[in-house]
């Protein structure tokens, strides 16, 4: 029996992990341990553990660590609480492998707990760059703590190898979140409007703006510029989702709430849409706007324009349907106009998604249930042949 622990701390990584979890629970000889924490447990951010349970997954452990405040010291204390929770869960449940996704601070703490407990780690979405966020350093640190790696592109796979990881342990299958697009029956525009009790049958934008965690103000000035720019596009409605629970996240949430309250007929602000409604929203929208990775990874599969603002995603691979701009009001307005132009919309119809086309989760699962775990902890540094 191979006991595989999987950690999810937010709506974003749960969407990435859903089909991997579905595959794991159906495999004989595998025990799935699901560790759920953070914003999943918070009413403030949608209490999305309810969605996990509605999806019929058994939650093995819950980690309560969300910061009471989102200052730097609050987030650091939250990371410390996560480390304690994760270590206790590992000691209690004795998994054989820990699976983590991405680059958030709580994911780093879970990986640290696994490393200190001599537990091998499989890391999904390593090798990427997000220069405008502390996530960038966290992601590479998790790579060095991990033994198995599942990169979303071949470029990212090569970067993981450049960090010294053994090529035979690094795989490039694509982005697992794209499996949702292939496997879910997405809602029609009328169905989406009905489930949201908000009419989206006219043109609309999907807007998500997360904190820029290397910025002193968390990107609040950029978010205000975005709102000012969107006021120039009054013929579009706005479907806005909550910022992440990062440093300065609550400040951005308050700004979103104030913006929506002043424009209730045009703006819908939602704590968490869930994968079905979120992807359905992207499918039918005129553009995805903000700084979420979904604008770079999921939106291109729908051939929908993306306006990627600021530095949070700076360094990530972008397809031809993605336009990147600075956080200035003038640049945001100009880029939204370009994204909505008939010429660019037509260009998006032929744009390829650099993150693949789905069918990823099963490939990852095949490796994590069969890859030999013996001696994985004794990593050898893979030196590149540089000629020195």
**Residue 235: pLDDT over 90:** yes
- Tell me the pTM: 0.87
Q: Which of 37-51, 163-177, 249-263 has the lowest mean pLDDT?
A: 37-51
Mean pLDDT of 232-257: 90
42-101 pLDDT, tens digit per residue, is 888 788 899 999 999 999 999 998 877 777 888 899 999 999 999 999 999 999 999 999
> pLDDT grade, residue 387 (50/70/90)?
low
Mean pLDDT of 315-341: 96
Q: Which position has the higher pLDDT, 181 or 44?
A: 181
Rounded to the nearest integer, the mean pLDDT of the chain is 93
Structural domains in the chain, sorted by start: 2-174+360-370 (3.40.50.2000), 187-348 (3.40.50.2000)
User: What is the Cα–Cα distance from 132 to 224, expressed in whole angstroms?
Assistant: 18
**Residue 214: pLDDT over 80:** no
**Residue 213: pLDDT over 80:** no
- What pLDDT does 386 receive? 63
Mean pLDDT of 170-192: 95
> pLDDT grade, residue 315 (50/70/90)?
confident
Q: List, edge to edge, every strand of the sheet that includes 148-151.
A: 61-63, 30-37, 2-8, 97-101, 121-124, 148-151, 170-172
Q: Are 277 and 187 in contact (CB under 8 A)?
A: yes
- What pLDDT does 385 receive? 80
> pLDDT grade, residue 37 (50/70/90)?
very high
């Amino acid at each position: 029996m191979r006991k595989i622990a999987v950690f999810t701390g937010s709506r974003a990584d749960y969407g990435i992990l859903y089909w991997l979890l579905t595959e794991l629970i159906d495999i004989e000889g595998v025990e799935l341990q699901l560790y759920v924490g953070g914003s999943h447990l918070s009413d403030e951010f949608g209490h999305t553990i309810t969605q996990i349970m509605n999806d019929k997954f058994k939650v093995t452990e819950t980690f309560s660590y969300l910061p009471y405040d989102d200052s730097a010291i609050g987030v650091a204390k939250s990371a410390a609480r996560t480390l304690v929770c994760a270590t206790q869960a590992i000691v209690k449940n004795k998994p054989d492998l820990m699976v983590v996704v991405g680059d958030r601070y709580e994911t780093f703490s879970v990986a640290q707990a696994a490393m200190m407990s001599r537990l091998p780690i499989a890391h999904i979405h390593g090798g990427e760059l997000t220069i405008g966020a502390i996530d960038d350093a966290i992601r590479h640190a998790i790579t060095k703590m991990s033994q198995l790696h599942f990169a979303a592109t071949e470029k990212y796979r090569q970067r993981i190898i450049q960090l010294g990881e053994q090529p035979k342990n690094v795989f490039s299958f694509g982005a697992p979140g794209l499996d949702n697009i292939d496997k879910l029956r997405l809602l029609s525009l009328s169905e989406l409007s009905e489930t949201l009790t908000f009419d989206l049958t006219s043109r609309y934008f999907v807007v998500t703006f997360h904190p820029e965690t290397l910025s002193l103000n968390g990107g609040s000035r950029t978010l205000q510029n975005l709102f000012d720019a969107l006021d120039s596009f009054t013929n579009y409605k706005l479907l806005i989702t909550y910022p992440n629970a990062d440093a300065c996240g609550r400040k951005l949430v308050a700004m979103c709430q104030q913006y929506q309250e002043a424009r209730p007929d045009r703006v819908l602000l939602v704590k968490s849409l869930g994968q079905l409604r979120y992807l359905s929203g992207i499918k039918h929208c005129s553009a995805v706007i903000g700084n979420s990775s979904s604008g770079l990874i999921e939106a291109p599969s729908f051939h929908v324009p993306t306006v990627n603002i600021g530095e949070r995603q700076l360094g990530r691979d972008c397809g031809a349907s993605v336009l990147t701009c600075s956080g200035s009001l003038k640049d945001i307005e100009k880029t939204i106009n370009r994204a909505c132009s008939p010429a660019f919309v037509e260009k998006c119809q032929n744009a390829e998604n650099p993150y693949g086309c789905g069918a990823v989760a099963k490939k990852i699962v095949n490796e994590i249930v069969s890859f030999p775990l013996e001696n994985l902890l004794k990593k050898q540094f893979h030196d590149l042949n540089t000629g020195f």
